[in-house]
Structure 1
Amino acid sequence: MTETASMQTTLQDITTRLKDKPGALLPILHEIQNAFGYIPKDSITFIASELNLSRAEVHGVISFYHYFRESAPGQHTIHLCRAESCQAMGSKHLEAHVKNRLGIDFHETTPDGKFSLEPVYCLGLCSCSPAMQIDSEVFGRVSPETFDRSLVEIGA
């Protein structure tokens, strides 16, 4: 089975299983992102057709929620907290360092495909601000130096 055919089969399975639920669009988008790591652009027309929605409606939901991605994520996803506590403790400086170090902005992936950078609006580490998460590991009291060490530890 080709990659395109496999993707189409997965999309069909997900939409068939969930399309009759009230508010089906969000559960479908979550399932698709869980299956592929992102919402493939080619899937928007299919989803819209299955739910009798316009492509603009589907795209509007995808672009409204920061959780959804329209491109494949990097090997590692870095979430930087942008909540008030982290901002009060220097996350703007950390954010500038991270973006400069990786050469990308939020919602982007490094050209080598290693890292994606995403904003998050609370990791629950307010007493240890500023905070970040790399994949499933959370870090508190992050400085530019500890960020750089974290990258070295994961092989960057």
Structure 2
Amino acid sequence: MNAHVANGDIAERTRAIVGALRSLEGPLLPILHEVQDEFGYVPHEALPVIASELNLSRAEVHGVMTFYHDYRDHPAGRHVLKLCRAEACQSMGGDAVADRMKTLLGVDFHQTALDGSVTLEPVYCLGLCACAPAAMLDGELYGRIDDQTIADLVAEVRR
């Protein structure tokens, strides 16, 4: 995952990914996932390559990429903290958790801390409704988020 890649290299590596996955049924989503795994985000320069290789319009590829919240158009921090914004979590204090996290981390949703330590992202259901409010840090789920959990998560991303 190298955020500083030359445009020609992005195109070449994207073509290789498309070539490996184009035979799948409905290959666009797996290709976007693989491109994000490769670069840490989906570079703008990769979209026309994907469109051309799959015989899709740039608008179609851009529309799919921006529709799904898991795709990023810029590099993420060393850690990715996702806070559930769905109704169950909101009803159990999710707004207060989000406000506290934003304050302690010094970022808003879709932003990365200036030191590159963490990117804060909203998600709309982590599947832990019975343990609301919920969060996910680097793929690990946390339920019943309280002040102690908030402090622990912030400490983890600051290490």
Please report the TM-score for the alignment, with normalisation by the length of structure 1: 0.87
Aligned identity (percent) is: 47
1:139 equivalent to 2:142? Answer yes
Using the alignment, how far apart are the partners of 1:155 and 1:99 within structure 2?
A: 14
2:36 paired residue number = 33
C-alpha displacement at 1:145, in angstroms? Answer: 4.3
Match of 1:13 among 10, 13, 16: 16
* Corresponding residue SS for 1:100: helix
Give the 5 Å matches for 1:40-119.
40-119=43-122
* Counterpart contact for 1:98–1:144, Cα < 8 Å: no
Which residue type is aligned with residue 36 of structure 2? Q
Which residue type is aligned with residue 87 of structure 2? E
Question: Over aligned residue pairs, what C-alpha RMSD do you find?
Answer: 2.0
Unaligned stretches of 5+ residues in structure 1: none
Pick closer, same or farther for the CA change 1:84–1:150 going to 2, 3 Å: same
Using the alignment, how far apart are the partners of 2:5 and 2:118 within structure 1?
A: 24
Which residue type is aligned with residue 59 of structure 1? H
Pick closer, same or farther for the CA change 1:26–1:154 going to 2, 3 Å: closer
Using the alignment, how far apart are the partners of 1:97 and 1:144 within structure 2?
A: 9
Which residue type is aligned with residue 100 of structure 2? H
2:151 paired residue number = 148
